Structure 1
Amino acid sequence: MKIFFSTVTGLILFSNLFAQQIQLDSLDSQIHQLIKDFEIPGLSIGVIRNDSIIFSKGYGNLEIHKEGKIDENTIFGIGSISKSFTALTLGILVDEGKVDWDDKVKAYLPYFELYTPYVTDNFTIRDLLTHRSGLKDVSGGTLWYHSDYSREEIIKRLKYLEPVSGFREKPAYQNVMYVVASEIVKEVSGMSWDNFVKTKVFDKLKMNNTTSLSAERESSSNLAQPHIWNEDYEKVAIKQEIGDNLAPGGFIYSSSSEMSNYMRLLLNNGVIGNDTIVSPKIINEIFKPQIIYPIGGAPFYNEFTSYGFGWWLTPKNGHKIIEHSGGIDGMSANLVMIKDMNLGFVILTNEAEEPATFLLTAKILEQLFNDESYNIYARVLDYRNKSLKRRKESPSQISKTINTKPSLELEKYVGKYNDKMYGDILINNIKSGGLEITFSHSQVFKGKLEHWHFDTFKIDWNDIRVPNGFLTFNFNSKREILGFSIDQENLLDVDFGELNIVKK
């Protein structure tokens, strides 16, 4: 009885101390300031402590210049936070004794193949979740980004990706490996990963509006619309990505209120209410450092930052910060948990500027830890505004060389080209004159070609989210076209430098 009284007294003291550290009224005013400074169309936030939601609120609009308001139930794209759900689905299967973290991928997916037989045969589920494939960062992005490739077809094309380091030598962030992980869930469970995560996780957590399927998402009347900068540096709404083929790695849509239930589950060691979703052993493994992976510097990360299964893990001020960010076209998100405080928060926005979500994260952590190193708001805002002003006044441009012409008549450039990983890429004539490029499996990559100099053409992509790039045709000594290369600013998780495009 005496021990029980001491424990309760300690909890009350801790609760009072916490209440002094985080000021919810102050947080509300800081969010309003953030929205104003960064011109954020809308934002939603949820904060939990001791298995209770203590703050849950929406701000702004579903779409800029329109009336629909955001609340705590508005659904947003959570981006790469989706990876943690895929890790959890595998954890459920491990709990059931149906798979092991160190099982070989090939045992479940015979068609899985990477750059060498040794890597293919020895690649494990643990490797899938910890970004140690040996491939470059976000390798294979052109396979899934706005493409019609299925998850299985994406996996079958991974064999063409080239490594940049040794297998398990060092980390490099991947999306496609979580697609592979989801297909193992499908193979073992006998149901699609989407159905598995819905029945085994979403339904049990009362995450009734959370979905990995674009059709379900689009049927919602409380869906935030994504926003990006246009060429005049005005924020405009864009069409949602479909994203179903990468849902296990980046395309779950959820709300701050429902993600708060997810945090409650994780911080309560796999239990929600009276229902055990997964054992504490699995939660501990998911939150255990698997590979050292410092992705940045102070105040958020340090030399001891590591990656678990779908989570970055960083020791800070005697605490263990468990977090992951997420970004897709026109959306950004951040989720942070501090397990020893039994506290977590999630921030969802319908715009693409990730510094905004991180600055709000920094404000909260500054209060929690009473740590001035997180006081970076003014510096980041000043840098952002100066950078934006510079880009508006002096947009970067590769100078056009006048009085030059292509080596061949335009008709000679028309044809079918191919990258063995991606597939066919077409160069066609257009009725108004000139040339057009079309990626056969990704309609977002379609645009007009404007002659720039010699055999280089400027690509004016039709879709606003794709910045203009340049295409240069390559020749042999007989002036025969061999193929072309694309000099293109990388999109979020798409690297055109991986493509080796040859004429068929």
Structure 2
Amino acid sequence: MRGQHRRHPAWPSKALLALAFVLPCTAALAAQTTPVSTTPEARTYDHILDTVVARYHLPGIALGVIENGKVVYVATRGETIAGSGRKITPRTLFKIASNSKAMTTALLGRLVDQGKLHWDDPVTKYLPGFQMYDPWVTKNMRVADLLTHSSGLPEGGGDLMLWPEPNAFTRADIIHGLRYIKPGYSFRSKYEYDNLLYVVAGEVAAAAGSAPYETLMHREVFQPLGLSRCQVGQWNRDAVGDVAQPHSFRDGRNVPEDEDGPVIPAITSAPAGGIRCDLDDMLSWARNWLVPTPAQLQWLSAEQRHVLQSPHMLIPVSEQRRDWDDSHIMAYGYGWRMTDVDGTWTVWHTGTLDGMYSELMLLPDQKDGFVFLINGEAESARTVLGEALLKHFTKPDDTRGVTWYADALQRADEQATKRAAAPDTSAATPVAPAVLAAWTGRYRDPWLGDLMLCPRNGRVHFAVAKSPRLNGDVMRLGNRDLVHWSNHGMDPDAWLDFHPAQGGQPATLTMAKVDPLGDFSSDYEDLHFVRTGDCP
């Protein structure tokens, strides 16, 4: 899913010619990726990086730093696949996950510059079949509202239509399913992170640009900016080459998970989190925002750049962020977060997918920044590395360092776990079909679709038709039932709560995370299955 991890509650918490001006611009960008490896600053970055890699046993990482608009440091550690001997390089492709969102909003900004789209246009102008749960919200949802995580969708609402991958949900399925997801708060009243509406935004771009999202991304973003290694849509792994694979950390070692096949398929989630890029291209992408050339200002106007990176929705500032960074305000723009850190304005985003983590940080006023890409379980590593690198710019006399931040974060995690500890499920036992005979059968949720809860091999098996990895056996723990997912990467498991038929209405099934701190993309709480028939 978007990240099979426990969230840190204090950190808010997937063939056309380039324009004529691209060639000199691209050459200039490439010239800036040569690292300066002998300066005191470079030795500082080496120390930060190596300390984080050792602390968190990272399988692979690529890091680049920009100072005053120039790339001054590039470093890589580890392997594309642990134990393979294939080293990470600045040209290694990683999943950038939700850092894809800023590329999607840049595409939309391009269409605004071209007069094909306006931020205040109703979504239904481009997608007549678009509906939210509330008809008033449907009517008043603007293109801009798709981008600020303030639509009323509950946090991570509907993400089970995107992840786990692979699944059979299309973008049309997502647009149709939105009408069934009950709001978690009133429209435009608060920030709750969602992914589905970025998929909708990609379809708005496709309608306005008269081409599929993937075609537009290549034509309007990758090619003009010279992002020659970035990939979206279907592509050939071996033809492109040098592709990092995700890892989990199990039994003291990094284990590859969900490795790519020879052909990487186009994925529904691309506008929200499905782009892959290498470090060189991500540094070029970052410099485009920090020190745009005249040609790049033709690619995207200063007006649209300002719109994308201006605050549009406030985000609560956590106690930890206040303590660590003296932050007073946090906000979301269009595909970007922004925060004051030690009196310095920062614009940034992170990306999280199974076994892949990224961060892109910009300090626009100083023209500084950094980007790093990791192919392992690295939520804490990302937080600590990002903090240590950021302090180098915002508070250079800070003496706390990687170890201090890592220890502090570990203590905070332990305290959060004590407050909302997940139950020990090791004593759970399989439920015999006879015990659940009254509840087995076929069920349907209006947006996730069909579920089979039926006997198989002497157990009761749970299987969602359109999401083959959402399958597992039903277990009993005390007096409660849960589904234990068959795939290792499918944490957290889910409680199953059965509700009897009444008033002429059929029986229903609801779900909840066994681990209350489990990833919000495991949005089991938003499901409401209704029994539709017996098992075959």
Aligned ranges 1:251-400 → 2 under 5 Å: 251-269=274-292, 271=293, 276-294=298-316, 296=318, 297-298=321-322, 299-300=324-325, 302-370=327-395, 375=400, 377-382=402-407, 396-398=423-425
Q: CA deviation at 1:429?
A: 2.2
Aligned ranges 1:160-179 → 2 under 5 Å: 160-179=180-199
Distance 1:406 1:428, change over 3 A: closer
Partner of 1:129: 147
Partner of 1:94: 112
Partner of 2:255: 236
The one-letter amino acid paired with 1:133 is S
The one-letter amino acid paired with 1:354 is E
Partner deviation per Cα, 1:4-38 (whole Å, 9 max, x = no partner): xxxxxxxxxxxxxxx99971112112211111110
Say if 2:462 and 2:471, in contact at 8 Å, map to a contact too: yes
Partner deviation per Cα, 1:33-73 (whole Å, 9 max, x = no partner): 11111010010011223443221221111122221110111
Say if 2:247 and 2:376, in contact at 8 Å, map to a contact too: yes
From the CA coordinates, give the structure whose radius of gyration is larger: 1
Distance 1:38 1:304, change over 3 A: same
The one-letter amino acid paired with 2:268 is N
Aligned-pair RMSD on alpha carbons?
Answer: 3.1
Partner of 1:155: 175
Q: Which runs of 5+ in 2 are unaligned?
A: 1-36
Structure 2 Cα separation of the partners of residues 320 and 476 of structure 1: 56
Q: TM-score, normalised by structure 1?
A: 0.87
The one-letter amino acid paired with 1:149 is F
Q: CA deviation at 1:211?
A: 1.1
2:137 maps to 1:119: yes
Structure 1 Cα separation of the partners of residues 104 and 399 of structure 2: 31
Partner deviation per Cα, 1:326-360 (whole Å, 9 max, x = no partner): 10111111100111111221011011222212222
Q: CA deviation at 1:479?
A: 13
Distance 1:325 1:375, change over 3 A: farther
State which of 419, 435, 439 in structure 1 corresponds to 2:460. Answer: 435
SS of the aligned residue for 2:54 comes to: helix
2:242 maps to 1:222: yes
SS of the aligned residue for 2:269 comes to: helix
Q: CA deviation at 1:449?
A: 2.2
Partner deviation per Cα, 1:368-410 (whole Å, 9 max, x = no partner): 123566836334433566768x99xx984148589x9879555
Q: Which moved more, 1:121-130 or 1:289-298?
A: 289-298
The one-letter amino acid paired with 2:394 is F
State which of 451, 475, 496 in structure 2 corresponds to 1:425. Answer: 451
2:483 maps to 1:459: yes
2:207 maps to 1:187: yes
Say if 2:469 and 2:487, in contact at 8 Å, map to a contact too: yes
Partner of 1:449: 474
Structure 2 Cα separation of the partners of residues 256 and 143 of structure 1: 29
Q: CA deviation at 1:499?
A: 0.3
Structure 2 Cα separation of the partners of residues 106 and 87 of structure 1: 18
Q: CA deviation at 1:200?
A: 1.2
State which of 69, 72, 76 in structure 1 corresponds to 2:90. Answer: 72
Q: CA deviation at 1:102?
A: 0.8
Q: Which runs of 5+ in 1 are unaligned?
A: 1-18
Say if 2:246 and 2:355, in contact at 8 Å, map to a contact too: yes
Say if 1:45 and 1:347, in contact at 8 Å, map to a contact too: yes
Distance 1:272 1:501, change over 3 A: farther
Distance 1:452 1:96, change over 3 A: same
Partner of 1:31: 49
Q: CA deviation at 1:440?
A: 0.8
The one-letter amino acid paired with 2:489 is R
SS of the aligned residue for 1:23 comes to: helix
Structure 2 Cα separation of the partners of residues 329 and 136 of structure 1: 21
Partner deviation per Cα, 1:117-147 (whole Å, 9 max, x = no partner): 1100110011111111012111111111122
Structure 1 Cα separation of the partners of residues 184 and 159 of structure 2: 16
Q: Which moved more, 1:247-256 or 1:204-213?
A: 204-213
Q: CA deviation at 1:492?
A: 5.4
State which of 49, 58, 63 in structure 2 corresponds to 1:45. Answer: 63
Distance 1:337 1:469, change over 3 A: same
Name the structure, 1 or 2, with higher relative contact order (CA <8 Å, separation 6+): 2
Partner of 1:8: none
Distance 1:216 1:103, change over 3 A: farther
Q: CA deviation at 1:453?
A: 4.8
Say if 2:384 and 2:406, in contact at 8 Å, map to a contact too: no
State which of 199, 204, 207 in structure 1 corresponds to 2:224. Answer: 204
Say if 2:248 and 2:254, in contact at 8 Å, map to a contact too: yes
SS of the aligned residue for 1:465 comes to: coil
Structure 2 Cα separation of the partners of residues 219 and 40 of structure 1: 27
Partner deviation per Cα, 1:208-256 (whole Å, 9 max, x = no partner): 11112254457543111111234x4643210058671111111111111
Partner of 1:414: 440
Q: Which moved more, 1:470-479 or 1:39-48?
A: 470-479
Structure 1 Cα separation of the partners of residues 160 and 238 of structure 2: 24
SS of the aligned residue for 1:258 comes to: helix
Structure 1 Cα separation of the partners of residues 512 and 314 of structure 2: 33
